[in-house]
């Protein structure tokens, strides 16, 4: 199993784009009716070449500039490239040119909105992630993404999280174990821990490759029962919606009984609270907001007159 958190950005992009880029571009263009742009076809000369630049209107973190690869070389005469000196993960000032497009307007304009939509999502995700990463600077905590992504664009958003300095949590339901409250509803803390232990042993017997094995705790009593499991049963314990005081108590208990166990904080994490959470000594903080609430980055196409 590839450790994407240890990959370079270039390697991460290569792995993800090889499988997902063409599908994403084709879906976006089909949805937009780009094969029959009635306005452009009626107004623009297919024989006249033009040059345009994709520009960020806001300060932003560059992400997914490689999207251009999916839009060029489609038999339309469109050429495109990343501007020299631009690289994913770079912090950009407003007005920075990211991509250069060259070809007739009949090739540039039909793909404009689809390209800008995808870039806007990716760069917003990277920029918000970088804000969270900056807020925990000086602590040992890393910012992790979640599965709260735009359907069909998980690959793009998880790549963008890396551009912003965040870390991959789990890709989906099949690459890691994450036992949540709904899995064990109705169990006492002790029965909960025993149930998890049996499930982990069964999984390990099948030799299923996993990124990690994590169980959620909603209370300090649940957390204490998980610490009592045999060493090596769990990789991570996720503390859901714990107060700062509860996180501090949990860290002290972990340090005394299971110092090798990683602690992840989750639930309702905001930019104004993430620093205090990180200073409790947790190892990981998972933040749904960096993908589900990243919003939009204002990127635009400017034609060179």
What amino acid positions are annotated as catalytic residues?
113, 148, 180, 216, 240
The SS3 assignment for 302 reads: strand
Judged by DSSP in three states, 200 sits in helix
Nearest by Cα to 5 from 281, 203, 274, 212: 212
Measured distance CA(289)–CA(305) in Å, rounded: 40
The secondary structure of 206-242 as a DSSP string is TT---S-EEEEESSHHHHHHHHTSPTTS-SEEEEES-
Neighbours of 75 (CB within 10 A): 6
Q: Is the dihedral of CA 254, 259, 260, 266 positive or negative?
A: positive
Q: Could you give the angle at the alpha carbon of 226 between the alpha carbons of 249 and 208, nearest 5°?
A: 135
Nearest-angstrom CA–CA distance, 200 and 192:
12
- Alpha carbons 260 and 142: distance in angstroms, whole number: 16
Tell me the sheet residues that pair with 51.
102
26 contact partners, CB below 8 Å, separation of at least 6 = none
Long-range contacts made by residues 197-200, C-beta under 8 angstroms, separation at least 24? 197/229, 197/230, 197/233, 200/233, 200/234
């Amino acid at each position: 199993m590839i450790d994407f958190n240890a990959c370079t950005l270039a390697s991460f992009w290569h792995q993800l784009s090889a499988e997902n880029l063409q599908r994403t571009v084709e879906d976006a263009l089909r949805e937009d009716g780009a094969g029959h742009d009635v306005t452009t076809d009626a107004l623009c000369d297919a024989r006249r070449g033009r040059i345009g630049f994709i520009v960020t209107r806001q300060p932003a973190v560059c992400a997914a500039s490689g999207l251009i690869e999916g839009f060029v070389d489609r038999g339309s005469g469109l050429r495109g490239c990343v501007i020299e000196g631009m690289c994913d993960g770079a912090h950009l000032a407003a007005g920075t040119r990211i991509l250069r497009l060259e070809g007739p307007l009949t090739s540039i304009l039909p793909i404009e909105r689809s390209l800008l939509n995808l870039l806007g999502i990716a760069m917003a995700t990277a920029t918000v992630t970088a804000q969270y990463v900056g807020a925990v600077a000086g602590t040992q905590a890393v910012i992790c993404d979640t599965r709260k992504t735009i359907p069909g664009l998980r690959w793009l958003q998880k790549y963008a999280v890396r551009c912003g300095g965040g870390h991959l949590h789990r890709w989906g339901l099949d690459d890691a174990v994450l036992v949540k409250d709904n899995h064990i509803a109705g169990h006492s803390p002790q029965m909960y821990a025993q149930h998890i232990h049996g499930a982990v042993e069964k999984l390990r017997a099948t030799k299923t490759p996993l990124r990690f094995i994590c169980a959620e705790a909603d209370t300090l009593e649940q957390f204490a029962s998980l610490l009592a499991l045999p060493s090596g049963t769990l990789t991570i314990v996720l503390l859901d919606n714990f107060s700062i005081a509860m996180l501090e108590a949990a860290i002290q208990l972990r340090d005394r009984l299971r110092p090798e166990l990683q602690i992840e904080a989750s639930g309702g994490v905001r930019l104004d609270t993430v620093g205090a959470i990180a200073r409790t000594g947790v190892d990981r903080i998972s933040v749904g907001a960096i993908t589900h609430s990243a919003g939009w980055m204002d990127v635009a196409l400017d034609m060179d007159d």
